[in-house]
Chains A and B, each alone.
Chain A
Amino acid sequence: MVGGSAPEKLGLTCYLTRFTWHSVTFSLSFICNFNTMSLTNVSLKTKDLSLYVENDKGLLFNHTSCCLYNLPAISVFTVLLIDEGLSKDKVLITLKEKSDLHIKELFSLYWTILDMLALQGIKLSYADGQYPELYTLNTKSKSTLLQKTNNTYQVAGATFSIFAHTELLQDITALLAPRIQQLKSVDFEILITQEAELYCIYSNRILIEQCTKYLEVIPLIIDRLQILAFQKSDYTFCFHGAALSTPSGNLLLPGESGAGKSTLSAFLVDKDHRLYSDEIIALNDNFEIKVIPLPIAIKSGSWQIVAEKYPLLAQAKIWHRLDGRQLKYLWPTSFAEASLHTGNKTVLIHPQYSDKKRVDAKVTKLSVIDTISLLTASGYQLGFELNIEKLEKFIAFIQQSTNFRIDYNNSEQVTKVLGSIC
């Protein structure tokens, strides 16, 4: 897929009204009748660099530092000039001819690009972000702690025991009841202690979190289970977002906190949609999605509207994040059983909730570079050292999926749009 040059009808920004998606696309293709450049691989003289361009942007991959960059046109131009073998002075003179930027800014740009192109490895590794307890997987069966508790849980391929004082343990058991499994050994032993005003959370004897309020403990535990569940798996790419299976394929909803992923997921999980996870899009080498069966975290702003669909939410306990936000947990009606990516369509929607009232959702088609930028900006982790083969497979996956940004004011607007495109 990478390197193809067939022009596509991109750049559509449209407001869905009462028309079907296909008719809107068709009619707007007359309004926005210009061709844009599809992602194209530019062959460079420097062999340890790969450059892809699309419209007025570029993606640069440095094979040695394993870093991927998003470049605006002037940076793509600078990379091409340096790749031609021009001297620093020649590059700066040419840039000055083409740009209104001050010479100081051009100097700064030149040195930034040179840093980016540096063909020397950096000491950091993508493996550095793995949580430390993954390197101390509990191998003993019936450890002292495990003998004291019946609270053992399975989340995806990871197993846990949780030990805490009575009240906290009751809350954890109540919330995680659907994940309880009787296990003789576990991967992670989680211990929560209370010392004076401080709650300390240990995982395989490593102190991993501390908080001062009882109400902050559970969100920390759920987040830890979520992350350990995917980090222990054979994931390659992981993005912050929700993932659901739909009758025609998979729906990915990447986004930062507050974009509306969890609320949308709660709305979409019905007879047609099944949840992989409301927080983690973890993909393996074949771009199959991992199921991480944990409760959905609904933030306070959405309680009222979500409770209309899930009445039990009204009575659910309120928990606090360390950043002060309040949330309640709810279990979705169903989880996906396994990824059904092969041969199925993937739709990627970047949801953007806003208080601003609007009649209908605003739907914007995303380019490949913009999609990758949004995915990584929301938070991401790689389970391997990035290389050109994996990157090209990932780019091909994004090229094959249908990518949109949706600006919306209420979940109904999004479900209406999804009804047309999924």
Chain B
Amino acid sequence: MVKIIVAEMMSNQIQGNDDNASPSAVENTEQTRRGFLNTFGKLAMVTPVAMTVLMSPSTSAAPKSCRGNGRWKCT
């Protein structure tokens, strides 16, 4: 299911855009965002909710070799 939706997305040839651009580029940006809205609206049906903090001041800590490193800081 995910593969089909992503393939559909690719066939639409949607790309990211610049901010400071002509009216047609702005329209393009708008279209792009709407394209992503459609795609991720479809994907929302088939993916789980879990999300993760990858980098934040509260999880950045000296990596240590102990059980539970990474998400759970070693003492």
CA separation between A70 and B52, bound complex, in Å? 5
**CB within 8 Å of B: which A84-126 residues:** 84, 94-95, 98-101, 105, 109, 112, 116, 122, 124-126
Q: Are B70 and A256 in contact (CB under 8 A)?
A: yes
Q: Are A3 and B57 in contact (CB under 8 A)?
A: no
CA separation between A59 and B21, bound complex, in Å? 24
- Chain A residue contacts of B14, Cβ below 8 A: 5, 40
CA separation between A69 and B26, bound complex, in Å? 27
With both beta carbons as reference points, the residue of chain B lying nearest to A238 in the complex is identified as: B63
Return A235 CB to nearest CB of chain B, in Å.
Answer: 11
Interface mask (B1-37 → A, CB under 8 Å = 1, otherwise 0): 0110111011001111111000000000100110011
**CB within 8 Å of B: which A370-407 residues:** 372-373, 376-382, 386
Q: Are A84 and B37 in contact (CB under 8 A)?
A: yes
User: Which among B42, B53, B57, B59 has the greatest number of chain A C-beta atoms within 10 A?
Assistant: B57
Contact A75-B57, Cβ < 8 Å, known A7-B10, A323-B66, A381-B63: no
Is A339 interfacial (CB-CB < 8 Å)? no
- Chain B residue contacts of A70, Cβ below 8 A: 51-52, 54
Interface size on A, residues (CB 8 A): 79
Interface size on B, residues (CB 8 A): 50
- Chain A residue contacts of B9, Cβ below 8 A: 37
Return B9 CB to nearest CB of chain A, in Å.
Answer: 6
Contact A69-B49, Cβ < 8 Å, known A36-B6, A55-B6, A378-B69: no
With both beta carbons as reference points, the residue of chain B lying nearest to A223 in the complex is identified as: B64
Which of the residues A5, A98, A322 comes within 8 Å of B45, measured between beta carbons?
A: A98
Interface secondary structure of B, over-half rule? loop
CA separation between A19 and B23, bound complex, in Å? 53
Contact A72-B51, Cβ < 8 Å, known A43-B32, A379-B70: yes
Q: Are A73 and B16 in contact (CB under 8 A)?
A: no
CA separation between A34 and B16, bound complex, in Å? 21
Return B30 CB to nearest CB of chain A, in Å.
Answer: 9
Contact A43-B33, Cβ < 8 Å, known A124-B57, A124-B58, A372-B54: yes
**CB within 8 Å of B: which A25-47 residues:** 34-37, 40-45
- Chain B residue contacts of A128, Cβ below 8 A: 57, 60
Is A247 interfacial (CB-CB < 8 Å)? no
- Chain A residue contacts of B3, Cβ below 8 A: 34, 36
Q: Are B33 and A240 in contact (CB under 8 A)?
A: no
Contact A80-B64, Cβ < 8 Å, known A42-B32, A68-B53: no
Q: Are B63 and A53 in contact (CB under 8 A)?
A: no
Return A55 CB to nearest CB of chain B, in Å.
Answer: 6
- Chain B residue contacts of A95, Cβ below 8 A: 44
Is A183 interfacial (CB-CB < 8 Å)? no
CA separation between A289 and B62, bound complex, in Å? 16
- Chain B residue contacts of A372, Cβ below 8 A: 54
CA separation between A218 and B7, bound complex, in Å? 54
Is A227 interfacial (CB-CB < 8 Å)? yes
CA separation between A95 and B37, bound complex, in Å? 12
- Chain B residue contacts of A122, Cβ below 8 A: 57-58
Is A129 interfacial (CB-CB < 8 Å)? yes
Q: Are B6 and A37 in contact (CB under 8 A)?
A: yes
With both beta carbons as reference points, the residue of chain B lying nearest to A99 in the complex is identified as: B44
Which of the residues A55, A109, A386 comes within 8 Å of B49, measured between beta carbons?
A: A109
- Chain A residue contacts of B17, Cβ below 8 A: 43
Q: Which 7 A-B pairs have the closest CB atoms?
A: A240-B63, A379-B63, A73-B43, A124-B57, A41-B16, A77-B40, A74-B44
List A residues at the B interface (Cβ < 8 Å). 3, 5, 7, 34-37, 40-45, 53, 55-56, 58-59, 65-77, 80-81, 83-84, 94-95, 98-101, 105, 109, 112, 116, 122, 124-126, 128-129, 131, 223, 227, 231, 238-241, 256-258, 279-280, 297, 321-323, 325, 372-373, 376-382, 386
What are 20 sample pairs from A and B whose C-beta atoms fall under 8 A apart?
A: A35-B6, A43-B33, A45-B33, A66-B56, A67-B55, A69-B53, A77-B44, A80-B33, A98-B44, A99-B44, A122-B58, A129-B61, A223-B65, A240-B70, A256-B70, A323-B67, A376-B55, A377-B70, A379-B63, A380-B55
List B residues at the A interface (Cβ < 8 Å). 2-3, 5-7, 9-10, 13-19, 29, 32-33, 36-37, 40-67, 69-71
16 extra A-B contacts, CB within 8 A, seeds A77-B43, A380-B70: A35-B10, A36-B10, A44-B33, A68-B55, A72-B50, A73-B43, A73-B46, A74-B44, A75-B49, A76-B43, A256-B70, A297-B65, A323-B67, A377-B70, A377-B71, A380-B59
